[in-house]
């Protein structure tokens, strides 16, 4: 175990802890320095003597790693770790950990919230009420055509890890049919869902939820070809990773009525560029990558990251990914 002088540097702690949580546990493991955010070019300066780096999104590539001679451990404050050069870290003898499954319930909650909002066109109705349309209405109510019940509708889930499987259970509780595309098919069909091909999922689903990880092979796979298979009444939901979707193609599909609508919590560039075509597309809900960020999920994340580091300092492996 390292001594009490182990230097721990948190590079971008604000996104996980904006002030409602505590780093106190980490202070028991060494000398802790927490930065809210760290630009790429300041990482070598701020972490030059660090034994341990804790980060959520900072890019730790081979160039940065080579400038950190004391580094022995990288703790990813997330499940995904595409911001870290895992192979190079292994080559340099640096342990990398992540935190799996901490946000499953929160992300599923967000997806279901999107499904309900889209099916009832809630944001549009909210805005009409705020503009006074209900006050001046001749009837006791008003509503836009096109609202639908989700019971009996088909939800297509792409990716069947913890989030996908939990989403399936909640969708079933709402009376939805569930079809799944997964490369692994590790879970057997049990009457609550069916495996289908990718094309069948796009062509038969009323709602499609992306819950898969981003890889080199699936980048931009939701493109004009796949979108053209969807029903004109169907909705696309992405809470996984922005680059899974070709944003130009999705904007075109929305603006031309190729599909009815979409909801995304993630974009290719975050924060987005003002030129992102989805920002001005029709019939889309965009939230600022918040699906993972409930108080409960962030609490689990911070505690798990602490346990990962504590195990490492005591000579044990916990959630090691390299």
Residues involved in catalysis: 241, 270, 289
Kindly state the tokens that stand for 27. 């202070």
Kindly state the tokens that stand for 150. 């989700």
Find out whether 154 and 199 touch, Cβ atoms under 8 Å.
Answer: no
Instruction: Calculate ∠ Cα 101-109-305, nearest 5°.
Output: 25
> Which residues, other chains included, contact 84 with Cβ-Cβ below 8 Å and sequence gap of 6+?
55, 60, 74, 76, 96
The values of phi and psi at residue 208, to 5°, are -125, 125
* Residue carrying structure tokens 């030059």: 48
How does DSSP assign 47-95, residue by residue? TTT-SEEEESS--B-HHHHTT-TT--EEEESSS--TTB-HHHHHHTT-E
Rounded to a whole number of angstroms, the CA Rg of the chain reads: 22
How does DSSP assign 188-248, residue by residue? ---SS-EE--HHHHHHH-SEEEE-PPP-TTTTT-BSHHHHTTS-TT-EEEE-S-GGGB-HH
Distance from C-alpha of 78 to C-alpha of 102, rounded to nearest angstrom? 8
Distance from C-alpha of 174 to C-alpha of 108, rounded to nearest angstrom? 13
Distance from C-alpha of 196 to C-alpha of 191, rounded to nearest angstrom? 14
Distance from C-alpha of 74 to C-alpha of 243, rounded to nearest angstrom? 24
Distance from C-alpha of 146 to C-alpha of 128, rounded to nearest angstrom? 16
Residue 85 has a CB neighbour count (10 Å cut-off) of 22
Kindly state the tokens that stand for 236. 């696309």
């Amino acid at each position: 175990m390292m001594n009490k002088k182990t230097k721990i540097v948190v590079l971008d702690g604000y996104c996980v802890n904006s002030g409602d949580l505590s780093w106190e546990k980490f202070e028991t493991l060494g000398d802790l320095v927490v930065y809210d955010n760290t630009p790429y070019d300041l990482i070598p300066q701020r972490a030059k003597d660090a034994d341990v780096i804790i980060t959520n999104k900072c890019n730790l590539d081979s160039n940065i790693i080579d400038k950190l001679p004391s580094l022995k451990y990288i703790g990813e404050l997330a499940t995904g770790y595409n911001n870290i050069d895992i192979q190079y870290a292994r080559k340099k003898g640096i342990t990398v950990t992540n935190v799996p499954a901490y946000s499953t319930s929160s992300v599923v909650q967000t997806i279901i919230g999107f499904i309900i909002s889209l099916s009832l066109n809630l944001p549009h109705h909210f805005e009409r009420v705020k503009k006074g349309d209900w006050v001046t209405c001749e009837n006791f109510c008003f509503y836009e055509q096109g609202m639908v019940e989700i019971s009996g509708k088909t939800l297509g889930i792409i990716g069947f890890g913890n989030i996908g499987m939990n989403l399936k259970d909640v969708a079933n509780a709402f009376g939805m049919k569930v079809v799944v595309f997964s490369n692994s098919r590790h879970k057997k069909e049990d009457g609550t869902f069916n495996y289908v091909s990718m094309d069948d999922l796009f062509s038969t689903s009323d709602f499609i939820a992306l819950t898969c990880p981003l890889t080199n092979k699936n980048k931009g796979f939701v493109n004009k070809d796949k979108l053209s298979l969807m029903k004109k009444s169907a909705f696309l939901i992405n809470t996984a990773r922005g680059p899974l979707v070709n944003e130009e193609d999705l904007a075109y599909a929305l603006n031309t009525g190729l599909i009815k609508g979409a909801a995304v919590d993630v974009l290719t560039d975050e924060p987005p560029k003002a030129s992102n075509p989805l920002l001005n597309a029709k019939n889309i809900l965009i939230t600022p990558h918040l699906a993972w960020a409930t108080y409960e999920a962030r609490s689990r994340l911070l505690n798990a990251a602490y346990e990962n580091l504590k195990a490492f300092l005591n000579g044990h492996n916990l959630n090691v990914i390299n």
